[in-house]
Structure 1
Amino acid sequence: MLNKLNQYLAAALFLAVFACAVNAQNKTQITAPNGQVYKISGTDRLRKDEELVVYTLAYYAKNPTNQSGVDVLVADDKVAVVQDRAGAVYLQSKPDPGAIKTDKKGYILSAHGAARKWVLANLKVGDAVKLGDAPAIVKNAAGEVAPAASLPCFEGAYYRKVVSSFDAWTGIVGIVKLGTPKVDESRLSEKDRQPLDNFSVYMGGRAGDKEIDAGLTWAFTKDEQGNLSKQRNAWRPFWRNETWNNAPAEKQFYWYPGDTVQMAVIVAGPGKLRLVIADATPQPKRVFQIEFDAKTFAPNTPRQFKRVNAIDQFGNEGKPVQPTKAEVTGAEWLQTILLRGAGADAKQLPMDKTRLTDMRCSSEKHIVVTATDAAKGAEKIDVYGTPKK
């Protein structure tokens, strides 16, 4: 009897120490391999709507979650199992696979609603993840949050990206000379014989768990009779929030390699962004402007803004880049400005090296950057699917 009691006390002590270790570390967020983070709402308690909760295995075994979310087993700091119970039951009309059963060491992440969507978009089996405190916010003498020293690349494209810190930014404005795309004729879709690579130069940002892209994509055009071009042959405005959207296929919204344009993505109100693209001339003949929903860009929410030059790959987002001979060359940002404040009172601050994180993806060998005026955030950019020797 005494031996059994001692065994029970030892087991209870182990579980208590383990639970205390998890709680004592005050874990507040989960970080995915692509650098995206999500707030932890609690530990070893009932998961509520829209929450991400972390569970010790002992608690989870006695108090399993319900079928309205996704559960993830993390063992040795890597994702071992992703069990999307809500997807199986409500989207695929399949039986509930149930709670995760395991004899491994580790912990469980359980997510519902928006948190579930984040998990499915950012975590997969084999991914290394970090459970930890939000990093301390470092500010410079002007009171601006310093940019990250580095950020991981998001797989699936070749691109040059500069991105600000998360701070009270209200927009990004730039002047860019558009590059010349060159497709890889050996990489064509079997369905329509169109290239599997495309090109974009754009801005955008992130607030909360939502990323916004808005700018110019290499697109098909229509002639005056309404006939669609056989190949993509012009830069045309697009924006992506919850859905992908394009400007009308009309000649006043076409720009061509060598054209110089003004581009801006600006907070237009609570949950709203405005995209503006126009000729970079005193009296522009071509102007496109659209205001669209960006729900997470709410008051008092830290925001991050970016500009990107990319070779995109159809159906490859989040996957390793595919070899290609596609390239886009001759692009040049003449100026890039971050906005801080609203309307006419907004401060215009150069997006120089003190206000950006430099990203060259999938690796530096695919990106050639030539600084022309660092103080203005000005540089020439060439992006190559196959590096130039």
Structure 2
Amino acid sequence: MIKELDFSNIKKEKQRCFGGAWYHKVMSVPHDFLGITGVVTLPLPFIKRFDDGFNNNKMVDFNHKNLDVSSIYMGGHATDESDVGLAFSRAILNNQITEGACVYRPFWRYITDQFSDEGGYDLANQRYYAASVLSNHNGMKNVYAQYHPSFSEHYYLPGDTLRMTLISPKPNFLQLTIEVIEVSTLPYSVNLRKKYLLKTPADFVSPLFQSMGHGTKMPKTYKRVNAIDQARNEGKTAIPTKTSVYNALWHECHLVYSEDGKQYLTPLNEASSVSMSCPNEQGFITTAIDSKTGRQNITIEPKRI
């Protein structure tokens, strides 16, 4: 049930850009939220930055390692930060893993000093994901996890329409769910699925992962992000690029909260959020956020600068 909250008395703070990527972020004001949910049609990425030579005539050349990565994700911040969603990734085609990215696959990235869940794939024991520690600062682990690439039903492609939800099923944990709303009719996606006999896309549920403070009464912020992440460049100056990501459409996006024991949705709109386009607003084309639904269309095109 949708029931809009009044955030007029909350002072909004301007966010600081984080280096190393081109991204548009819409982040909520602090509140005792339970999570975030939104329906998004995945964009068309034209990747133009690689480790070596590539076919410039292709939308993506998955025979070469890409250095720009299209990602569409959500996140929450309570005690610690978490980012979860979809990253343009490698795939298994013709029984071989590609060199470069060609499909969107689920990931979850979280910071914890407790249950890190680190470890590799163990398909025999039904552990279908791997979790790697990217960094460890005095016991605070930055963990990145991704589902195994052999499950092509969890390959999501440009033009697919999905509902992504990030919510806390129990205190200090988060979980990502993806529901398939509509399968893409774009030529790239139709042809890739047909040529490589990929399975029909299916719903996805991540394991629970540690994220302290979520599911408690403390104030939290939630966000949605559209990005071109850049390999080996996190925290540095974003690299100029001709890579573009066209027409990611958030049909709706809502924050989840509880009142009198019932769950409600309030739109993630300009009244409840702060937006930013980094590192330069001229590299983005964005529509105004619809006040009732949170609807917004986003194109990332750094070559416009």
Work out whether the TM-score is over 0.5.
yes
Which of 262, 266, 269 is the aligned partner of 1:345? 262
Structure with greater helix percent: 1
Task: Work out the CA distance in 2 between the residues paired with 1:216 and 1:236.
Answer: 5
Which of 149, 161, 175 is the aligned partner of 1:260? 161
Structure with greater strand percent: 2
Is 1:356–2:256 an aligned residue pair? no
Task: Work out the CA distance in 2 between the residues paired with 1:361 and 1:172.
Answer: 22
Task: Work out the CA distance in 2 between the residues paired with 1:238 and 1:267.
Answer: 17
Give the aligned partner of residue 69 of structure 2.
198
Task: Work out the CA distance in 2 between the residues paired with 1:214 and 1:227.
Answer: 26
Which of 36, 43, 58 is the aligned partner of 1:179? 43
Runs of at least 5 residues in structure 2 that lack an aligned partner in the other structure: 54-62, 111-141, 184-199
- In the comparison of the two structures, how many residue pairs are matched? 244
Cα distance, 1:155–1:147 mapped onto 2, change above 3 Å: farther
Cα distance, 1:248–1:144 mapped onto 2, change above 3 Å: farther
Q: CA deviation at 1:195?
A: 1.9
Query: For the Cα contact (< 8 Å) 1:173–1:264, is it kept in 2?
Result: yes
Query: How high is the sequence identity, in percent, across the aligned residues?
Result: 30
Is 1:240–2:109 an aligned residue pair? yes
Which of 208, 226, 229 is the aligned partner of 2:95? 226
Secondary structure of residue in 1 paired with 2:238: coil
Give the aligned partner of residue 29 of structure 2.
165
Query: For the Cα contact (< 8 Å) 2:39–2:252, is it kept in 1?
Result: yes
Cα distance, 1:285–1:318 mapped onto 2, change above 3 Å: closer
Runs of at least 5 residues in structure 1 that lack an aligned partner in the other structure: 1-139
Larger RCO of the pair (alpha carbons < 8 Å, separation 6+) = 2
RMSD: 2.6
Amino acid at match of 2:66: P
Cα distance, 1:289–1:145 mapped onto 2, change above 3 Å: farther
Query: For the Cα contact (< 8 Å) 2:40–2:163, is it kept in 1?
Result: yes
Secondary structure of residue in 2 paired with 1:261: strand
Task: Work out the CA distance in 1 between the residues paired with 2:301 and 2:46.
Answer: 10
Task: Work out the CA distance in 2 between the residues paired with 1:300 and 1:372.
Answer: 28
Task: Work out the CA distance in 1 between the residues paired with 2:264 and 2:45.
Answer: 35
Which of 173, 178, 202 is the aligned partner of 1:286? 202
Task: Work out the CA distance in 2 between the residues paired with 1:300 and 1:158.
Answer: 33
Secondary structure of residue in 1 paired with 2:37: strand
After superposing on structure 2, the runs of 4+ consecutive aligned residues of structure 1 that deviate more than 6 Å are none
**CA radius of gyration, larger in:** 1
Query: For the Cα contact (< 8 Å) 2:84–2:109, is it kept in 1?
Result: yes
Cα distance, 1:149–1:308 mapped onto 2, change above 3 Å: same
Query: For the Cα contact (< 8 Å) 2:160–2:182, is it kept in 1?
Result: no
